[in-house]
Structure 1
Amino acid sequence: MSDPKSMVEVTAHDVQGPGVVACPNPKMTLWSSHPKVFIDLSHDGRGKCPYCGTVYKLKAGEVLHHAH
């Protein structure tokens, strides 16, 4: 498995809705922009952007709070 282009650790506070983060994220520069997509972290705490290959990973110890 090759190393991802970049890895972004996120906290539960960064996660929206049912466990997703948006990519591109606010820290990315304009040249790397692509259509906004939502990466689902609710299954195993990580996900990869299909456009730029950025991997989003839930920071160690962070817990997603699911709405019941």
Structure 2
Amino acid sequence: MSDKKDVVEVLASDLQGPGVVFCPNPKMTLWNQHPKVYIDLSHGGEGKCPYCGTVYRLKAGEKMPSHH
């Protein structure tokens, strides 16, 4: 087993609301492996799941949606 944590690059279109994604994400095989949590990417474009350690990062060149 590898200790390397997954890094998931997300597009602006993947964000839920103002810079938020959720984990586990729909692409994970074990989508029910831990409670659903929301990861805030609005501060620095990166966030980490407190349960599984998956890092979510806004893909280079993608822009956060602007607040209205």
The TM-score normalised by the length of structure 2 is 0.88
User: Is the contact made by 1:4 and 1:54 (CA closer than 8 Å) also made in structure 2?
Assistant: no
Instruction: Tell me how far apart the structure 1 counterparts of residues 32 and 56 of structure 2 sit (CA, whole Å).
Output: 16
Percent identical across equivalent pairs?
73
The TM-score normalised by the length of structure 1 is 0.88
The number of equivalent residue pairs is 66
Residues 20 and 33 of structure 1: CA distance in aligned 2, closer, same or farther (over 3 Å): same
Q: If each structure's helix is expressed as a fraction of its own residues, which one has the higher value? A: 1
After TM superposition, which residue ranges in structure 1, 4 or more long, deviate above 6 angstroms? none
Shift of 1:65: 1.1
What CA deviation, in whole Å up to 9, does each residue of 1:26-61 have, x standing for no partner?
111127610000000001000000000000000000
Q: Which runs of 5+ in 1 are unaligned?
A: none
Q: Which runs of 5+ in 2 are unaligned?
A: none
